[in-house]
Chains A and B, each alone.
Chain A
């Protein structure tokens, strides 16, 4: 408990976990437009805030106390960055054309159930690519859809894997290792990406988070539900009364 992460001096102090959500296996919860509107709090089938990449978008859960200490409001867009040595990719520099494609931006949601020092994002979302970023930046409606392949991203920039680093178990990832391929029934040998057990779960995502844009329509002010007082820590008087059950008294 006494040792510090070597990158903490650079501002990295959050553990960013990316579990999969109960709403579906892998990417299925965002495969459909209507399901994407239900996947989290930022869905809008009409995309009235044109910044949103699709009918729903990725978001990070953050403890409200942590958020306020960093001046991040509920609904704001944020940047999430990990060890710059190899994330979002090895040798990344801010003025690379690839940098903005890979650097993670998403919405922040105040979630009181998140412990302090932890961020949580869902794994299930389609990440940004060069094609989707170009579309997002050049289309008048800013839809993040690759015009050539029709691939639809649910991130404006980057993805939940922009900050994740897997640790390959050296005892298993030898060139002579015999293992099944990722798809099908072929047996192969040596290193293969995304083959579970050798590659799999052990990963690290130690990050810093910073505000990128206001959550309000067209980047002005608070996201509407926070402004109107229906969000945790922003509750208006009626919402507070409602939470306490204050509109009804029962005389026994």
Chain B
């Protein structure tokens, strides 16, 4: 009997531990190497070559203001060509929120976050005082600004029937009298927007800071219940605050999503509570002189054809399965221990 139990318990324990371990092993986002020009368009079939990572999202309840939680998950893909890296982000969203005119308008948005220094990785939540994160934030409202010719003209739902704007009489002098946000060049206020993605750095909650260099490109489109957004940048910039990507090397990525229809903004967002490994595949072939560079002005096409990449996440083991197995394993181990103890007791008795 003891031999039988030994033969049964030990392998079961190993299997169970293995399963438990796999439940804790983080699935990595692999940025495959592809020999194509970047930026990669949203609807480019090459995205099918990328292995998606589905990241579960939860409400942000670490620091006030709490909020978010209406977006359950997001799918992330990545590709690089040795010089530039592109991410494709897809998440469910029933409504398009891209207006920022009225005080109760909030924009849909997504952001990806990387440690500025891969050797000094902070907490997964917006960095800390010693260790910075580099954040690329895309907003649907900025996408709309870019799509509509780059001018953030806002008198859409709120045409004011005023008599005159005195400042417009002074236009030739180039003076701005009454738009202080624009006067100090706050990025949110800019009237000519060339990219829908903002490049930022943060050292903890409340420290999000616009970077001088805006070298991140992006494009986003909504298709019946889903946003698809691509963001990307050169692998190496060697600029302050910005993360570096190295083919063959590992780093981290985190993500956050804002749902405009429930007044998400700032800390009111759906977040992931942990870093996710990001691995760039090694460059297997070296290309010469055919890689296209993104221009200063991103020029997304004004109409995109329907995407051909699958709408659903490809089948992968959902996180629930290892948990169930671990649970079952726990029951079996418990039962076996109980039998052994009973045996031991009865042997003594």
Please tell me whether chains A and B touch each other in their complex, using a CB distance cut-off of 8 A.
yes
- A residues engaging B (CB < 8 A)? 32-34, 45-47, 54-55, 141, 143
Contacts of A45 in B (CB 8 A): 160-162
A33 to B164, CA, bound (A): 9
16 other contacts beyond A34-B162, A46-B160, A47-B159, with CB at 8 A cut-off? A32-B163, A33-B161, A33-B162, A33-B163, A45-B160, A45-B161, A45-B162, A46-B157, A46-B158, A46-B159, A47-B161, A54-B161, A55-B161, A55-B162, A141-B159, A143-B161
The interface residues of chain A, by DSSP majority, are classed as: loop
The interface residues of chain B, by DSSP majority, are classed as: loop
Q: Are B163 and A46 in contact (CB under 8 A)?
A: no
In the complex formed, the residue of B with least CB distance to A32 is B163
A45 to B158, CA, bound (A): 9
Contacts of B158 in A (CB 8 A): 46
For chains A and B in complex, what number of residue pairs have CB atoms within 8 angstroms?
20
Contacts of A55 in B (CB 8 A): 161-162
Contacts of A54 in B (CB 8 A): 161
Contacts of A32 in B (CB 8 A): 163
A46 to B162, CA, bound (A): 8
Contacts of A46 in B (CB 8 A): 157-161
Q: Mark each residue of chain B from 137 to 161: 1 if its CB lies under 8 Å from any CB of chain A, else 0.
A: 0000000000000000000011111
Q: Give, as a whole number of angstroms, the nearest-CB distance from B228 to chain A.
A: 33
Q: Give, as a whole number of angstroms, the nearest-CB distance from A49 to chain B.
A: 12
A45 to B163, CA, bound (A): 10
In the complex formed, the residue of B with least CB distance to A145 is B161
In the complex formed, the residue of A with least CB distance to B163 is A33
Q: Give, as a whole number of angstroms, the nearest-CB distance from A154 to chain B.
A: 12
The 9 closest A-B pairs by CB, nearest first: A33-B162, A33-B163, A46-B158, A55-B161, A45-B160, A47-B161, A46-B160, A45-B162, A33-B161
A54 to B162, CA, bound (A): 9
Contacts of A34 in B (CB 8 A): 162
Contacts of B163 in A (CB 8 A): 32-33
Q: Mark each residue of chain B from 161 to 183: 1 if its CB lies under 8 Å from any CB of chain A, else 0.
A: 11100000000000000000000
Q: Give, as a whole number of angstroms, the nearest-CB distance from A170 to chain B.
A: 44
A156 to B162, CA, bound (A): 18
Within 8 A of A (CB), among B22-41: none
Q: Mark each residue of chain B from 273 to 292: 1 if its CB lies under 8 Å from any CB of chain A, else 0.
A: 00000000000000000000
Q: Give, as a whole number of angstroms, the nearest-CB distance from A37 to chain B.
A: 9
Contacts of B157 in A (CB 8 A): 46
In the complex formed, the residue of B with least CB distance to A141 is B159
Q: Give, as a whole number of angstroms, the nearest-CB distance from B178 to chain A.
A: 13
Instruction: Please list 19 pairs of residues, one from A and one from B, whose beta carbons are closer than 8 Å in the complex, sorted by A's number.
Output: A32-B163, A33-B161, A33-B162, A33-B163, A34-B162, A45-B160, A45-B161, A45-B162, A46-B157, A46-B159, A46-B160, A46-B161, A47-B159, A47-B161, A54-B161, A55-B161, A55-B162, A141-B159, A143-B161
